[in-house]
Structure 1
Amino acid sequence: MRSLTFSLLLFLAFPVSSTFAADKLATDTAQRVTMPREYRLDGVVEAINQSTVSAQTSGQVVEILVDVDDFVEQGETIIRLKDTEQRARLEQAEADLKAADAVLQEASRDYERTREIFQRKLVAQSAMDKATANLKASKARQQAAVAALNQAREQLEYTRIRAPYAGIVTERMIEIGETASPGQQLISGISVDQLRVSVDVPQSLIPAIRQQPDVRIILPDGRSVEATKATIFPFADAASATFKVRLKLPDQIPGLFPGMLVKTRFQIGQMEELLIPTAAVVYRSEVTAVYVVDAEQRITLRHIQTGQKRGDDRIAVLSGLEEGERVALDPIRAGSLLKLQLKGSGNE
């Protein structure tokens, strides 16, 4: 390894010339391009919908239809409570409503009879007032019976614990045979359809992000998606001097789950970068270099410092190369020509 590094340093120290032409060697020119200035941070995927379902009525657990890691659809029954008491209340409410309807019908007929007689002036005003009051009281009792029936139906429905949204069960806090009471936590779950990414952003970047909330999320498989919404918390963490930023993801991204780590890319302006083809870069031990071809077709191995990749086929050069210089696109052939130049110059 030391001998290889020493040889590379010799190449860098002695630019050579010879009669071996490199005019047929494929090259490309280093170009300065305006690129977006980006800042990359780690983020954590979170579920927008994550909740714990609690009991809304009392009853013994008779059936648990799901367990941890099970997927459930929205509205699907996940726990069933004993409903004997609730059904009895429902039947009672239905009977009370029938009785109230019968009383209301009788009061309505009595009112009509009294009103007809009153119009003939055959009964006193007090009889008419009594019939009217009786009708109003009967209507009120009938409305109360309807409300009681709706409440009884609601209480019976509470014995069927249903999933509030489609998602995955994460925790179960009750077993079959236990008695649930109103407010008791029963089961927890998360939705994987709507996700977001939580990022801690240094406070120095917040003004730029507020002006230009352009953020992309780099997924674990290398894909990137644009955040549909960026929410910046209105306060900072005094210990870390960072702001919490929530990035809403597009719905239903396959292979992405809460708790996963992802990379985020915040665009905070623009900058100029010197770009060359990725294929031109040579990696030898600890040396990163390119084969530079000058105007006289001489080849030189040049040490460079590279930055981030831009796209699939370009990479930024931080130092070691100037705009307009040509680099060889076939490093293997360029290396062979360089050896011939070294032999021709007697430097080998």
Structure 2
Amino acid sequence: MKIRIRYTTAVTAALTVALAAAFVAALSSPAFAADAAASAAPKPALTVKRVVPQAGTWAQTLSGTGSIAAWQEAIIGAEIGGQRLAALEVDVGDRVRKGQLLARLSPGTLEADLAASKAALLEAEASAREAHQTAERVKTLQGSEALSPQAIDQALAADGAAQARVAAAKARVQADELRLSYTRITAPDDGVISARVATPGALVQPGQELFRLQRQGRLEWRAEVPGAELAQLKVGQTVRVQPSGAPALEGRIRRVAPQIDAQTRNGLVYVDLKAGEALRAGLFARGDFVLGESSALTLPQTAVLLRDGFSYVFRIDGTKVREQKVQIGRREGNRVEVKSGLAAGVAVVESGVGFLVDGDTVRVAP
């Protein structure tokens, strides 16, 4: 029995030693080492595409904001009062020509006043002719004893007074004709009716506003620009304007304000615009004043991360990404200018930068 127990113990020990030796050999094999290294390596956080900055020539611009307004807006009102508005010939949005009839007032007693003035003029002219003939006859008797000097002077004075009454009667006729013409309200210039306050049948007062006219249909952009930048702007420079809710359009600087607002420290720049169907006075607009051209190093906007008021890109360093702070400048389309912080030829992550942090491991797509 003792011999049998010893034999079993020896076999067990030999098997244990053999298994240990096999385990050690397996641990030291190259395949096991590679698997262990692979399991220990960090997994890529994201698969990314690389992009390098592109050099090019971009327009050098200065940005501004402001509102679209009428170049000049004329307020059209009544010049006489006490008459009713008989008819309106135009409405908001209508294009009108200079002198075109916009509204008519009821003439009331104005026509009768004019007729009376004309009759008074005829009477004055008849009296003046008689007085003039008398004066001419009297002049032939001067130097004779047929009439006294006093009578001669009276006849000549009557002639002068009659002529003065004719002139006064003519002035009254002209005044009544002018007042009657005021019942026809006409356009002072070509343009577009931008507002209509008048109501048919209403009693009109002198100076009361009836219409507003955008003269010549011209619109302008009144842009606010920092006062320190106004010196860069000149009359005639090109401006790219983007109104809210309307297509972008091009304009020209017409005038630069000679003073700066003391509260905002901004100055106004007046930009002539071409009228379009979608363009309306009162729209808010942003725009860029084209100052010239300069070289620029650009990236897609998706490659730039905005965080805490600063801009960052992620440089690709092997399988790692490194956060790099950059300074951003102009924007054009879907690209942005990198003014500093990144050298040409340095590869960065093209998109998905919002999911990365400094030091992340990534897989770079071919």
Would the TM-score normalized by the shorter structure come out above 0.5?
yes
One-letter amino acid of the counterpart of residue 71, structure 1: R
Letter in 2 for 1:218: V
Who is 1:129 aligned against? 153
**SS of alignment partner, residue 144 of structure 1:** helix
Instruction: Give the alignment partner of residue 218 of structure 1, picking from 241, 256, 260.
Output: 241
Counterpart-to-counterpart distance in 1, 2:155 and 2:44: 113
SS at 2:261 equivalent: strand
Q: Do the aligned partners of 1:274 and 1:316 also contact (CA within 8 Å) in 2? A: no
Gaps spanning 5+ residues in structure 1: where? 13-26, 292-301, 332-345
Select 1:318's aligned residue among 325, 332, 339: 339
- 50, 58, 62: which one aligns with 2:86: 62
1:86 is displaced (CA, Å) by 0.6
Q: How much does 1:262 deviate? A: 2.2
For residues 173-219 of structure 1, the C-alpha deviation after alignment (integer angstroms, 9 at most, x for no partner) is: 4232x322333333344346232322334xxx325425744552514
> What amino acid is aligned across from residue 259 of structure 1 in structure 2?
G
Q: Does 1:174 align with 2:199?
A: yes
Distance 1:89 1:263 in 2: 57
Tell me, yes or no, if the aligned pair for 2:121 and 2:166 is still in contact at 8 Å.
yes
Q: Structure 1 residues 192, 309: CA separation in 2 closer, same or farther (over 3 Å shift)?
A: farther
Identify which of 65, 72, 78 aligns with 2:96.
72
**Which residues of structure 2 form unaligned runs of 5+?**
1-42, 307-311, 316-322, 351-363
Q: Is the 8 A contact 1:58 1:179 kept in 2?
A: yes
Is structure 2 residue 55 aligned with structure 1 residue 30?
yes
Of 38, 52, 67, 1:44 maps to: 67
Separation of aligned partners in 2, 1:266 and 1:69: 31
- Cα distance in 1 for partners of 2:95, 2:250 equals 26
- What is the distance in 2 between the residues matched to 1:236 and 1:282? 35
Establish whether residue 254 from structure 1 lines up as the match of residue 279 from structure 2.
no
- Does the CA-based 8 Å contact 2:251-2:271 persist in structure 1? no
Q: Retained in 2: the 8 A contact 1:65–1:79?
A: yes
Q: Which is greater in Rg?
A: 2
CA contact 2:233–2:256 (8 Å) conserved in 1: no
Q: What is the TM-score when the length of structure 1 is the normalising length?
A: 0.66
Structure 1 counterpart SS, 2:147: coil
How far has the Cα of 1:149 moved from its partner? 0.7
The alignment-based identity, stated in percent, is: 21
C-alpha distance 258-282 of structure 1, shift in aligned 2 (>3 A): closer
Task: Tell me, in whole angstroms, the C-alpha distance in 1 between the residues paired with 2:251 and 2:77.
Answer: 32
- TM-score (structure 2 length as normaliser): 0.63
Shift, 1:82, TM fit: 1.5
SS in 1 for 2:93: coil
TM-aligned CA deviation for residue 133 of structure 1: 1.4
Contact 2:230 2:267 survives alignment (8 Å): no
The DSSP-based 3-state class of the residue aligned with 1:228 is: strand
Aligned pair count?
A: 291
In structure 1, what is the equivalent of residue 253 of structure 2? 227
- CA-CA distance at 1:150 after TM superposition: 0.9
Mapped partners of 2:99, 2:252: distance in 1? 31
Deviations 1:133-159 (A, max 9, x none): 112211211111111111101111111
1:189 and 1:207 map into 2 onto residues whose CA distance is: 35
CA-to-aligned-CA distance 1:238-262 (integer Å, 9 cap, x gap): 3xx2445251515x53343311222
The 2-side partners of 1:49 and 1:227 are apart by: 19
Give, in angstroms, the shift of residue 223 of structure 1: 2.6
Deviations 1:264-320, CA, capped at 9 Å, x for gaps: 3357x88x95425x7x8585696999x9xxxxxxxxxx998763257x999633246
Query: Do the aligned residues in 1 keep the contact of 2:89 with 2:101 (CA within 8 Å)?
Result: yes
From 48, 51, 63, the counterpart of 1:8: 48
1:84-143, CA deviations, whole angstroms, 9 ceiling, x for partnerless residues? 311001111111111222222222222222122215565333233222211221121111
CA-atom RMSD in angstroms: 4.4
Letter of the 1:317 counterpart: V
Structure 2 match to 1:298: none
Distance 1:347 1:133 in 2: 114
Question: Alpha carbons of 1:273 and 1:86: their partners in 2 closer, same or farther (altered >3 Å)?
Answer: same
Measure how far apart 1:327 and its partner are.
Answer: 9.9
- The residue that corresponds to 1:92 in the other structure is 116
Query: Residues 67, 30 of structure 1: CA spacing in aligned structure 2 closer, same or farther, 3 A cutoff?
Result: closer
Is the 1:55–1:185 Cα contact (8 Å) retained in structure 2? Answer: no
Q: Report the AA paired with residue 85 of structure 2.
A: V
Alignment check: 8 A CA contact 1:72 1:169 kept = no
Match of 1:265 among 270, 275, 288: 288
* Preserved contact between residue 305 and residue 318 of structure 1 (Cα < 8 Å): yes
Q: Distance in 1 between matches of 2:164 and 2:232?
A: 60
Seen in structure 2, the aligned counterparts of structure 1 residues 318 and 169 have a Cα distance that, compared at 3 Å, is closer
Distance 1:150 1:228, change over 3 A: same
Aligned equivalent of 1:107, options 103, 112, 131: 131
**Secondary structure of the corresponding residue to residue 109 of structure 2:** helix
For 1:144, the equivalent position in structure 2 comes to 168
Is contact 1:74-1:164 (8 Å) kept? Answer: yes
Question: Contact 1:171/1:189 (CA < 8 Å) preserved in 2?
Answer: no
Alpha-carbon spacing, 1:45–1:120, altered in 2? closer, same or farther (3 Å):
farther
